[in-house]
Amino acid sequence: MANKEILNYIGGAWQRPVSGAGLPVINPATGETIAVSPEGSQADVEAAVQAAAAAFPEWRAVPPAERIQYLFKFKQLLEEHFDEIARIVTVENGKTLAEARGELRRGVENVEVACGIPILMQGYNLEDVARGIDELMFRQPLGVVAAITPFNFPAMIPLWFLPYAIACGNTFILKPADRVPLSMIRIMELLHETGLPAGVVNLVNGGKAAVDALLDHPQVPAISFVGSTPVARYIYARASANGKRVQCQGGAKNHVVVLPDAEPETTTQIIADSAYGCAGQRCLAVSVAVTVGDAQQWFRDSITHTAAAMKIGDGLAQGVQMGPVISQASRQRIEGLITAGTQQGAKAAVDGRDAVAAGLESGSFVGPTVLDGVPAGSELAETEIFGPVLSLIHASDVDEAMAIIAKNSYGNASSIFTSSGAAARKFRNQIPTGNVGVNIGVAAPMAYFPFSGWKGSFLGVLHAQGRDAVEFYTDKKVVIERWPREWSRKF
Ligand code: NAD
């Protein structure tokens, strides 16, 4: 995969970007540069918008049942090339092959759900809202819609948007993360093989300049974003000031509560997977475990043991349990936060700083880390680390644990581990996060449920996936009709 040229897919053809070079694409396990993303420009975006706008009138007129035929073919091609795509994800992102397969599976599930659009997109109606008058609601596509996506799920997150957008009759522009452009290039090549009409889906690579051009473009009425909270806020403000509908999924700081009656072995295993899977670079990764009562000691001992035993390395290699973080800059940032944690009163029970994976001295590895005794309310307890670092906080009861979570500015996800139905129910009912797990570590909603997220983790109203996606990608048209008999010719 050495130095593949990063092209844009516009109007059904691969095009060289107008802009100059942007970020290098680096295999984070080896440190090798495998491509260079373009910087992205207003001119590239303009070409994509014009191609998408030109395709829209024809595409919206294609019956939904015909539109989804392309998605059935797309799914088939994704299945046939499943391992090939997963390998690309691993090479450019660093996660293990099993994790890359897992993310692609979650992406494909969204293609499957969008194949239900002839039912999902239906409106409703009522005869005789007044004598002889009927009222009908139709859902119609918006036009050219765009999504801007992050580095941590190069294949899955674009598929939270693309299938629904086009199934609803919109035309679509994707601006993927410039650090991981290769997965979507391969996926677009497969989409092209379906025979999808030119311009229905377009890919513009690049960074901020391309994003800004989308946010300001008068022919793009809807923007979806997934990434960090500061960028989410910026995108939400700028796009909505331009009159667009916007959904922005931001960062996270996810907590698990471990009650003394949790089953120790599975609880530890699930929380280790949640904290260290994808090297902690998941918006649903567990970042803080709040132990209650007697759980403090057994959980600290078992998670320390499990974290210390994990094998790090190249995600392509057999037996590797955790890959690198995305970049050396990210590694330095995470190591700096571990240091800050120890300065703020925590003890590094397992310290992943200065980790080296055998034979991969240029890789950006951080080892699994356990920070014990992080003071609740400290800066580290509030900051999204986005790396393989689990902080332990102790609480004397479940109310105190829930108050710690409620105070956090993020609200993406939280979980509780317990064998008490009453405690679980109280948690589920009262905890202010949009995704909740009960004895589940990464409570990732299936494609037919909304990917929720509250507080600083989400700006907007309608979430990604499922019915919310259909609502987001359509406008409602309400028709009120009167057809008096006396106005009609008699047959
Ligand atoms: P990021 O915010 O740096 O980048 C996301 C996208 O925005 C990329 O396409 C990038 O090119 C673009 N971008 C970056 N800076 C920009 C700017 N100043 N102006 C305009 N566009 C800009 O995020 P990331 O580092 O790629 O991804 C990690 C973050 O994403 C984490 O905070 C993680 O929690 C979050 N995330 C959230 C969810 C969720 O569902 N809530 C899912 C995945 C990731």
Straight-line distance from the first to the last Cα atom of the chain, in angstroms, rounded to the nearest whole number: 70
Q: Inform me whether the pLDDT recorded for 464 exceeds 90.
A: yes
Ligand 1 atom closest to the Cα of residue 227 is: 30
Q: Inform me whether the pLDDT recorded for 490 exceeds 90.
A: no
Residue 183 structure tokens: 């997965």
Q: Inform me whether the pLDDT recorded for 2 exceeds 80.
A: no
436/270 Cα distance (integer angstroms): 15
Domain residues of the chain, as ranges?
8-250+457-479, 254-438
The pLDDT of residue 235: 98
Q: Which amino acid type is present at position 161?
A: F
| Mean model confidence pLDDT for the chain | 97
Residue 115 bears catalytic tag: no
* CB of 365 shorter than 6 A to ligand 1: no
Q: Inform me whether the pLDDT recorded for 396 exceeds 90.
A: yes
Residue 205 structure tokens: 């690579």
Contact at 8 Å (CB) between 48 and 210? no
Query: Residue 227 C-alpha to ligand 1 middle, in angstroms?
Result: 2
**3-state class of 255 per DSSP?**
strand
* CB of 149 shorter than 6 A to ligand 1: yes
Interval 115-156: pLDDT, tens = 999 999 999 999 999 999 999 999 999 999 999 999 999 999
* CB of 285 shorter than 6 A to ligand 1: no
Beta strand spans in 98-156 (E)? 124-130, 133-141, 144-148
**Ligand 1 probe mutation, 6, 160, 231, 286, most atoms within 8 A of CB:** 231
The pLDDT of residue 460: 98
Query: Residue 231 C-alpha to ligand 1 middle, in angstroms?
Result: 7
Residue 85 structure tokens: 């795509």
Interval 186-220: pLDDT, tens = 999 999 999 999 999 999 999 999 999 999 999 99
Query: Within 13 Å, how many C-alpha atoms sit on residue 11's CB side?
Result: 12
Q: Inform me whether the pLDDT recorded for 489 exceeds 80.
A: no
Interval 36-47: pLDDT, tens = 999 999 999 999
47/149 Cα distance (integer angstroms): 20
418 φ, ψ to 5°? -165, 160
Count how many residues are written for the chain: 491
Q: Is the dihedral of CA 349, 354, 356, 360 positive or negative?
A: positive
Q: Which among 324, 427, 412, 419 is positioned nearest to 93, based on CA atoms?
A: 324
303-275-314 Cα angle (round to 5): 105
Element (H, E) at 63: none
Q: Is 3 left (phi over 0), alpha (psi -120 to 50) or beta?
A: left
Question: To 10 degrees, the CA torsion angle through 211, 212, 216, 218?
Answer: -30
* CB of 150 shorter than 6 A to ligand 1: yes
Contact at 8 Å (CB) between 470 and 121? yes
* CB of 156 shorter than 6 A to ligand 1: no
The pLDDT of residue 1: 52
Residue 66 structure tokens: 């015909």
Q: Inform me whether the pLDDT recorded for 7 exceeds 70.
A: yes
Query: 186-209: b or e for each residue (b if 16 or more CB lie within 10 Å)?
Result: bbbebbbebebebbbbbbbbbbeb
Q: Which amino acid type is present at position 43?
A: A
Interval 313-358: pLDDT, tens = 999 999 999 999 999 999 999 999 999 999 999 999 999 999 999 9
DSSP labels for 266-312? HHHHHHHHHHHGGGG-STT-EEEEEEETTHHHHHHHHHHHHHHTPPB
Interval 294-309: pLDDT, tens = 999 999 999 999 999 9
Query: What is the CATH number assigned to the segment(s) 254-438?
Result: 3.40.309.10
* CB of 226 shorter than 6 A to ligand 1: yes
The pLDDT of residue 491: 62
DSSP labels for 446-477? PTTS-B--EETTEESSS-BSHHHHHHHTEEEE
How many other CB atoms sit within 10 Å of the CB of residue 138?
Answer: 15
Q: Which residue has the higher pLDDT, 491 or 227?
A: 227
Largest Cα separation within the chain, whole Å, is: 89
Contact at 8 Å (CB) between 108 and 79? yes
How many other CB atoms sit within 10 Å of the CB of residue 353?
Answer: 15
The pLDDT of residue 244: 98
Strand 369-372 relative to strand 389-395, pairing: parallel
138/388 Cα distance (integer angstroms): 47
Q: What is the mean pLDDT of residues 215-231?
A: 98
**Ligand 1 probe mutation, 151, 214, 334, most atoms within 8 A of CB:** 151
Q: Which amino acid type is present at position 276?
A: Y
Sheet holding 144-148, edge to edge: 13-15, 8-10, 201-203, 171-175, 144-148, 222-226, 245-249, 458-459
Residue 361 structure tokens: 């001295």
How many other CB atoms sit within 10 Å of the CB of residue 403?
Answer: 13
Query: Residue 217 C-alpha to ligand 1 middle, in angstroms?
Result: 20
- 8-250+457-479 has which fold? Aldehyde Dehydrogenase; Chain A, domain 1 (3.40.605)
422 φ, ψ to 5°? -65, -40
Bridge partners for 357 per DSSP: 360
How many other CB atoms sit within 10 Å of the CB of residue 105?
Answer: 15
Q: What is the mean pLDDT of residues 466-489?
A: 94
Q: What is the mean pLDDT of residues 10-34?
A: 96
| Residue 269 burial by Cβ neighbours in a 10 Å radius (0-12, 13-18, 19+) | middle
Query: What's the ipTM?
Result: 0.99
Interval 231-251: pLDDT, tens = 999 999 999 999 999 999 999
How many other CB atoms sit within 10 Å of the CB of residue 491?
Answer: 3
167/318 Cα distance (integer angstroms): 38
7/1 Cα distance (integer angstroms): 15
DSSP state of 360: B
Q: What is the mean pLDDT of residues 96-123?
A: 98
The pLDDT of residue 410: 97
Element (H, E) at 416: strand 413-417
Q: Which among 255, 30, 62, 246 is positioned nearest to 169, based on CA atoms?
A: 62
pTM over 0.90: yes
Bridge partners for 257 per DSSP: 290, 416
Contact at 8 Å (CB) between 475 and 145? no
26 φ, ψ to 5°? -120, 130
